[in-house]
Amino acid sequence: MSLLSPAFRDAMEGWLAHLRALDGASALTIEAYAHDVADFLAFLAEHQGGAGGVQHLARVTQSDMRAWMAAARGRGIGSRSLARKLSAVKSFARWLAEREGFDISAILAAKAPRYARSLPRPLSSDAARDVIATVPLQTRENWTGLRDAAVVTLLYGCGLRISEALSLTGRDVPLGEVLRVRGKGGRERQVPVLPAARDAVAAYLRACPYPVAPEAPLFRGVRGGGLNRRHVAQVMAAARMQLGLPASATPHALRHSFATHLLAAGGDLRAIQELLGHASLASTQVYTAVDSQRLMEIYDAAHPRARG
């Protein structure tokens, strides 16, 4: 940020405030966008010479955009990450151009690199149950084991994102048959809560040494603060090593498993979209590819000569 002019830094702060207030972007998304745009502006300042200012955006050419993307590639940035960076840059440039009244057609014309969207890698039903049974064995205290079991049960049983599970507060308990969740973009949805998830959370609360307060995090760390998502990733990693599962068996894979298993059981794609909190059906349709891929694997295993 040192290469950027004060006016440019102020513009970035205004844009980020806009994202927080109107778009409901998460703190992690805001942080990523800020880094992406700062990286682009610093490149322009060095590429065009002088401290970065609004005039640098106003005179960006297609050659400048190609040079920036080539420099990013040279630093080992992959297609997916570069596409995200370009999206952030376009968002900032569009926001600023509307206020300053300059042309950003060269920026908007830049094409994002193509990349193959990787399919989610869900766990089998048996593996998901094994993970839920093994995760609580990774900590010494009984209450922390019950806590970790409750978290992963919510991920698999309700399809929650890890951030959504860890943002629950004392106001959300005792869990009823339906849980109201605020997801990406501030979008709210209701998800049914299975008895196993209600029981897991209730068992954790009975053992938790900290009182349940409406404003306090539901899931507590050993010192009483909110549970860190890194801890969940660590106990999940330890559990998958014990079970011999692949590195793709992450906390988020439990959410993938929730969606894939619902679809395999005949779940409606639109309903699954609502349960996952996807803004677009296209995000949910990826699970149809996973389900089809799995069916083909089963078919090939049962009929090894089918391709002959």
**Portions of the chain given CATH number 1.10.150.130:** 6-108
pLDDT tens, residue by residue, 143-181:
999 999 999 999 888 888 888 899 999 999 999 888 888
**Catalytic pick among 85, 255, 256, 261:** 255
pTM of the predicted model, to two decimals? 0.58
Q: Which of 56, 85, 161, 198 is catalytic?
A: 161
184 is catalytic: yes
Which CATH superfamily hosts domain 6-108?
A: Tyrosine recombinase, N-terminal domain (1.10.150.130)
Superfamily of domain 125-253 in CATH is Intergrase catalytic core (1.10.443.10)
> Regarding predicted confidence, which is higher, 304 or 90?
90
Residue range 21-79, pLDDT digits in tens: 765 566 777 888 888 888 888 888 787 766 556 667 778 888 888 999 898 888 888 88
What is the full DSSP assignment across 258-275?
Answer: HHHHHHHTT--HHHHHHH
Q: Respond yes or no: is residue 206 known to be catalytic.
A: no
226 beta partners: 220
Helices (H), the chain: 6-18, 27-48, 54-58, 62-74, 79-100, 105-108, 125-134, 142-158, 162-166, 195-207, 229-243, 251-264, 269-276, 281-302
Cα dist from 258 to 14, 182, 261, whole Å: 39, 18, 5
In the chain, CATH 1.10.443.10 covers 125-253
- The residue annotated as part of the active site, out of 18, 184, 189, 229, is 184
Question: Is 90 assigned a catalytic role?
Answer: no
Distance CA 99, CA 117 (A): 35
